[in-house]
Structure 1
Amino acid sequence: MRHDIWRNAVTTGQQAAADALGEATLALLAQRDDTAQRFTAAIAADPGLVAAHGALGLLRLASGRRPRQAEALQSLATARAAFARRGGTRREAALLAALAAWAEQGDMWRAADVLEEALRAAPADPLLLRLAYAIRFMLGDAVGMRLATQHVLEVLPADAPSRSYLRGCLAFTLGETGEPWQAECEGRAAVAAQPDDLWAAHAVAHVMEREGRAREGISWLEANAPGTSAAAVFSRHLFWHRALFHLHVGEGDAALRLYDTEVWREPGSDFRDLANAASLLWRLESQGVPAGAARWDELADEAERRLGEHCLAFADLHHAVALGAAGRRGAAARLLRGMRQRAIEGGDTQAQVMGRVGLAVARGVVTALLGDPAEAAALLRAHRGEVPALGGSNAQRDLVERITLDATLAAGDAEGAFGQLLERAARRAGGTWEAQRAARIRGARRMAARRTDELRPSTPRRFPALIRGGFA
């Protein structure tokens, strides 16, 4: 038995393995690009390291790709064999149970609950917290993320190695639950204490995005994420955020360059890569920046290769965007049929999400992009309140709100679109996209007013009759 840097017991005879597990945990907390490699290095130091196998298996499931699920099951089998052979701690049993719940039953809620149950018994365990936090992020449970993080920070010693990283985790949840000022304070403090904390830098960028502080956001990310690599998943997401800042101030060419050079240099193995790319490409075109058929075809080809996976409703939503924008009616229909079948036949967490909201939203998106805005607007507006269940962040889910507003406007409902724009203005600062929509709404109103004037019957002229009647 050895101990990690938080004094948590690790079932291993190799202190190097326990130390490597601690380094992997720190990488996970910071959302660094080498997180998976760090857990792999811990396993190399001790091939029977249950905690590392459990964590790596959960990260593989979080990739949202069917091929990685097979790898996660292999992690589970290896961890089980090691646990049966050498025994283990409550923490290791929890990691094993959480991985089994998700990999075998598809029960993401149970996986997060198991980790947090163990965390309540040993709150100074950032590995359990950060894995549960990641799962709840995919479930859209920002409140659960915040409560768990606050609880750990309350009991974690002030000099604990990960404390500043956890402040970065808290910062993100504060922003997602409506406390942007406190979120920015926590995020800036976390970055100041630990400059490699990409998640904390990302949390501050979220606040700036919502408040329309685009120039500041670009400078912030350039200064605080200088070492990001275009080959890594989270790095590409940070470049996605930079592109959003450029779009906010109407710099479409700069955003398109980031798309080509950073966000989608090549197909990635994580669902977030295609999600970033499809979302950004739609935003570019919606602001009048021609993306070109070739870019959409590349994304649609990748989405077609993933048809039938249906690991996450959030991923399928972005497959729907790629296929709809590329005009792939047949493939889009197959995607929707597969989601429907998954919702009917599966009893797991994501099947339930698809049945409750995922399928309807994906149908709405496909319908909007393939030319029936009235039906799309009706579908999307009916499910607006349920979109958070798809997972992800407010910034990511904003894509659905934008498509909904555009469909409403394209359907000829200028007043409905105006109402949505007003609601939006109460939650986030407007930029170029919002100004364009406001102008379109004004144009639609003027056109409607002209049509009304043309249809209005002319008022009869009574003076001649009065003259004939002798009243002159």
Structure 2
Amino acid sequence: MIDAFGSEHATGHTVAVAAFAAAVKALASHRPHASMHLEAALNADPGLTAAHALSGLADVILASEDHLAGARAKLARGRAALAANDGGTGFERALVTALDHAVEGRLRAAGDSLDDYLYGDPNAFVAAKLSHAFRFLIGDADGMVSLTARLSVDCEPGNAGYGYLLGCHAFGLEEVGRLHEAERVGRRALELCPDDAWGLHAVAHVYEMRGQTADGIAWLEGNRLIWSRCNNFSRHVAWHLALFELEKGDHDAVLAVYDRDIANDLSGDCRDFANAASILWRLRQLGVDPGSGRWNALAAVGDTHARSATLVFAQLHVLIAQIAAGRLDEASDMAELIHDRSRTTTDQANVARNVGSELAHALLQSALSGGQQAPVGLLARRLHRLGGSHAQRDVFLRSLALIARDSGDVAGLRQVLAVRRRNKADDSFVAHQLALTATSTADLAARAN
């Protein structure tokens, strides 16, 4: 049986398949209750392979060791369901194979296995959404956009996931710098699926990269009814709103968004934590004190979940929260944890080796010594390997720029800003750094004379 989103199931149980499709709809629109729909599907048909696999893949995407045991149990149930259904469908096998890779930290291989299946079945929307999610986590923008470019042509427009697929395509286009196309496709996605928060979010990224602050605020406020109904993704969209307010220079508005929409439930999800830590860190970079209470509350959450984070991207956000809260011993432990995990064989070990460990120690040493020399240009060029988006990684680009500035590394500062300009229009942060660079250069020349 094939559901409205193109998922083929080895069952004739209509109630179970309808519940699975409802879960996919919730996943596509970032609405709550996807897990509730999956539970309903399994209550109707305990052998529904895709429900076991999708639930396990969702656990992996939470990026916490705390959820991996559950994901492995769901993998075992998915395999058993495949065997009971004579090997199941190609779609079900693809999801189970992706989960097998993902629970072992092979996120790129998980995405590749889904892409391989989609060559034969471009209508299986949830496989595309999952591949997109894994490639986002590993910073593979080219992989994201090449997949969705092909599927936007090959997928049937009547598929219930087609509009959401365009939302994914819009985001990938933005991440590879094709901003005009990204805005056009993102708006089209929202026309087809008015609840497509990811497509809406892609357009917000376009405005961020172009420096269209007023347009960005108007876009998000004008569509608040869409994103405010999301699951915790609403906190991330609110984070984008806070970024626009930050660029406008309204720091009170930033903190109001933070308190109301970003930090209202920091229960440990690494994505929520990253939103909160990065917006407070940006304020700190501007010399704005958000208050020790906010930092201490955030660092306490980070301390609780620090060792369970599976992504270097998440671990680095814990590190900056610990630094800002004055917990330098804990920050030192986190830097060592990132270094130690670079010795394993997962995808994230490669991230730690290539950029994460060196960046962690640069941030820590800057906090300890007030401007320790670091290979800022090299780190800036490798930063995309952390995963996430250009907008999210910008907090670390800004940090590298400040490290260069504080250590008198004018050439390094220019290298970091050159990397930043590949994706983002100059903003008030750059203007301030260039003014300081000019002053530093003039001072050096004067001293030489």
Gaps of 5+ in 1: 457-472
Query: Is the CA contact (8 Å cut-off) linking 1:54 and 1:96 kept in structure 2?
Result: yes
Question: What per-residue deviation string (whole Å, max 9, x for no partner) do you get for residues 118-176 of structure 1?
Answer: 11121211011111111111111111111111222221123222211111111111111
RMSD value over aligned CA atoms?
A: 2.0
Query: Is the CA contact (8 Å cut-off) linking 2:189 and 2:196 kept in structure 1?
Result: yes
Deviates further, 388-397 or 437-446: 437-446
Query: Is the CA contact (8 Å cut-off) linking 2:7 and 2:125 kept in structure 1?
Result: no
Aligned equivalent of 1:467: none
Aligned equivalent of 2:49: 50
Task: Return the TM-score normalized by structure 2.
Answer: 0.94
Query: Residues of 2 paired with 1:392 and 1:147: CA distance?
Result: 17
Q: Would you say 1:253 and 2:252 are equivalent positions?
A: yes
Deviates further, 335-344 or 253-262: 335-344
Alpha-carbon shift at residue 446 of structure 1 (Å): 4.8
Aligned equivalent of 2:102: 102
Aligned equivalent of 1:410: 406
Query: Is the CA contact (8 Å cut-off) linking 1:361 and 1:379 kept in structure 2?
Result: no
2:362 to 354, 364, 389: 364
Gaps of 5+ in 2: none
Alpha-carbon shift at residue 325 of structure 1 (Å): 1.8
Secondary structure at the residue paired with 1:296?
helix
Alpha-carbon shift at residue 386 of structure 1 (Å): 1.4
Aligned equivalent of 2:331: 332
Change (3 A) 1:42 1:371: farther
Aligned equivalent of 1:350: 348
Task: Return the TM-score normalized by structure 1.
Answer: 0.89
The amino acid across from 1:411 in the alignment is S
Alpha-carbon shift at residue 8 of structure 1 (Å): 4.0
Deviates further, 329-338 or 379-388: 379-388
Alpha-carbon shift at residue 451 of structure 1 (Å): 4.0
Alpha-carbon shift at residue 89 of structure 1 (Å): 0.8
Higher Cα radius of gyration:
1
1:391 to 363, 384, 387: 387
Deviates further, 45-54 or 188-197: 45-54
The amino acid across from 1:110 in the alignment is A
Query: Residues of 1 paired with 2:65 and 2:266: CA distance?
Result: 15
Alignment of 1:104-143 (within 5 A): 105-143=104-142
Aligned equivalent of 1:217: 216
Query: Is the CA contact (8 Å cut-off) linking 1:230 and 1:236 kept in structure 2?
Result: no
Query: Is the CA contact (8 Å cut-off) linking 1:230 and 1:262 kept in structure 2?
Result: no
Aligned equivalent of 1:38: 37
The amino acid across from 1:438 in the alignment is L
Aligned equivalent of 1:93: 93
Aligned equivalent of 2:235: 236
Deviates further, 355-364 or 402-411: 355-364
Query: Residues of 2 paired with 1:259 and 1:370: CA distance?
Result: 27
Alpha-carbon shift at residue 216 of structure 1 (Å): 1.0
Alpha-carbon shift at residue 29 of structure 1 (Å): 2.3
Q: Would you say 1:16 and 2:15 are equivalent positions?
A: yes
After TM superposition, what 4+ stretches of structure 1 lie above 6 angstroms from structure 2?
A: none
Secondary structure at the residue paired with 1:9?
coil
Query: Residues of 2 paired with 1:286 and 1:59: CA distance?
Result: 34
Aligned equivalent of 2:162: 163
Alpha-carbon shift at residue 402 of structure 1 (Å): 0.3
Aligned equivalent of 1:315: 314
Aligned equivalent of 1:285: 284
Alpha-carbon shift at residue 245 of structure 1 (Å): 0.4
Percentage of identical aligned residues: 35
Aligned equivalent of 1:190: 189
